[in-house]
Structure 1
Amino acid sequence: MVKFMKKIDFDTISAVILEEFKTYTGKEIEPLWAFNTFDVQKDSIVGFIGPMNVKIENMKDLKDVKEEKDVEIPIQSSEAINFIVEHFDNPDLKMTYLRQRILVSTAKEVIENHGNLKLKKSGDDLYFNDKKLSVCIACRGISSGKIHLGINIKSGGVPPYVSAVGLNDMGIENTFEIMEEIASIYAKEMSKIEKDIRKTLPLF
């Protein structure tokens, strides 16, 4: 079983921070990865640092697959913060994408606060000085909705046609702290939404 450094439990979701490096391959976005890997049996956000190396057969974005079908490994980074999110409340794909946007907006705010800088958000992507900082995908299976967000720590190792930037290029070094803060804020926000649902009277 993969070691984790910290697990923060909220009412309906757990935030798990891994201790060791792990490569994101795209297979981690399959259903029940968190349960199979470290026995988390509820909604979860898992954060870990490591390379991104996603081959075309593991990509979920059909538009990207069509555009990059001749590239063997279209998503690459030598070192990134990776988040894997899973929700089991039978979310439709639109709900999963809305949650994705909350996660990306949370990451934007946390990074801006730590770096005293301004990022640009376009859809589910983050940019600094017009260079791409992140990749993200939302998808849905039979039992759950899944999200992957990858934030470059280093700008090396990306495909040669991508103009990329990493947190280190922006003068940001405290990546574990940023990873834990993003995961905790997202989990807390999701837990609070669930509580709000349970206190609101219906319209008649």
Structure 2
Amino acid sequence: MSRKAQLRRELLAARALLTSEDVRNAASVLAAAASGLAELAGARTVAAYVSVGREPGTRALLDALHARGVRVLLPVLMADNDLDWAVFDGAEHLVPAGRGLREPDGARLGPHAVLEADAVLLPGLAVDGRGMRLGRGGGSYDRVLARLADAGAHPALVVLLYDDEVVARVPEEPHDHPVDAVVTPAGTRRFPRGRGTGDADPAGS
């Protein structure tokens, strides 16, 4: 088993121990912290996702962004694991999809719609001190990040995690992209552009 696969197993096992109350409490704190981030506060379009299971909760954040007039794009998983996008028009317009996901019921905008985002909220299992992110391994967001890089687009990349998911080191591969900020219930940490090496300086939200 690769180090990435082993770390994913450990992190998912830790999430499995969280109670529903743990998840709800963390989601409330994360929504408040992330809503106040400069990267999201000044964004006109944010690409985000609907959290499922014991993932750090995004639903309160989606509602807060939508309520203040931000155009929120949510992913629609395609058959090849790439992501299409649709606009979030409120929780009542989310419908069940495969793999336990929920997706908007509106028009599909195409995979390149993410290029319009000023900030992208990425799912993840861990981030290290260099800003390197560990995803679930499906590859969907690797394609999103590659699409952004190929187009020369540089939205703010933000990950929501639990406190113990900011780790010393995430195994990386050449296609991996570091993020700009991680938000946990304990606070926000930012990583400088041109990142991926060295240590990052913590910063408050």
Provide the TM-score with structure 2 as the length reference: 0.29
Which structure has the bigger radius of gyration? 1
Higher strand share: 1
TM-score relative to the length of structure 1: 0.29
